[in-house]
Amino acid sequence: MRWEGVWLRYHRRGPWVLREADLRLGAGEAAVVLGRNGVGKSTLLQLAAGVLRPARGRVVDRPRHVGWVPERFPADQPFTVGRYLAGMARVAGLGGAEADRAVLRWTERLGLTRFHGVRLPELSKGTAQKVGLAQALLRRPGLLILDEPWEGLDATARELVPTLIDEVLAAGGSVLVSDHRGETARLPGAARWTVADGTVTAQAPADASPEAFVVVELAVPVARAAGTVARLRADGHHVLRVRGTPPTPPGAATSAVDASEAAGRAPR
């Protein structure tokens, strides 16, 4: 997907929210949109989704199937979770049986099964947000757009978001995520698009090369530290150091191992 000189403002004589944005997002690539509150992150995402049209310039090569998770799910609707998702699956073009399977799969994965018969206005904010996630994933998106996806989610669901992103990327899709809380540190392979004063600055992923490393911190029981270090070394990882008892998990005597994840390669 490419952005060619995209300008946007909300009113004819209003200020420009975005000025001459030239961006590209290839298949299998992810980008994180960063910026202060109200700077135009959601606007950028809505342009990507095709919900807003640029005043000047254009967005081309948008994948056919787009999944958009808005910042706030519109829960003020007279449907149950199951009825809503089944309806949205059909709106997305899935056939009857296919739609039912997709709804079953995503309600299970996102822990929505017990809310199946609950009406949308009765859901908590986090649960409603999960319904928002589910509707975007019912049909595998070629472009997944997540507007502050971690907002309001419980720990289990928060952990799930990077997995979902990985799945879309692995299937050749693209992902665009906005974040103002630093949760996207979990996506080290994503490009950084910073929005400020109407301009977007794209920055390639810091650690895009296969030579790049990240530090993975592990906690293992003290008794198994030596064995773990040996196994990690045998797997080709570079163990940086072993240090004393960390605060977690409570009650268990553990020891922390810093292993440099080298994807099977020799260390630097």
Partner 1 sequence: MTALVRLRLAAFLRTGRALAPLLAGLLALGVLYGGGRAQPGEAYGVSAVVLFPVLAWQTKILLDVEPDVQRRLALVLAGAAREWAAGLLAALVAGLGTTVVALVFPWLVGGVTSQVGPDGRSVAAGVALGVWAHLLALPAAVALGALASRAVTGSAGYGVAVLALGAVGSLVLGLSSSVAPWLAPPVLPVARATAAGPSAATVAVLTGWAVAWSATLLAGYAWRRRVRV
Q: Which residues bind partner 1 (CB under 8 A)?
A: 46, 49-53, 66-68, 70, 72-74, 76-79, 87-88, 90-93, 135, 139
Shortest separation between residue 43's beta carbon and partner 1, angstroms: 12
Shortest separation between residue 90's beta carbon and partner 1, angstroms: 3
Shortest separation between residue 117's beta carbon and partner 1, angstroms: 15
Nearer to partner 1 among residue 73 and residue 237 (C-beta): 73
Shortest separation between residue 59's beta carbon and partner 1, angstroms: 13
| 96: its two tokens | 């009857």
d(CA 253, CA 265): 31
Nearer to partner 1 among residue 53 and residue 231 (C-beta): 53
- Render the burial of 7-36: b for 16+ CB within 10 Å, e for the rest: ebbeeeeeebbbbebebebeeebbbbbbbe
Nearer to partner 1 among residue 8 and residue 34 (C-beta): 8
- Please give the span between the terminal C-alpha atoms of the chain, in angstroms, as a whole number: 35
Nearer to partner 1 among residue 31 and residue 52 (C-beta): 52
d(CA 236, CA 87): 49
d(CA 239, CA 230): 9
Tokens 């997002």 correspond to what residue? 25
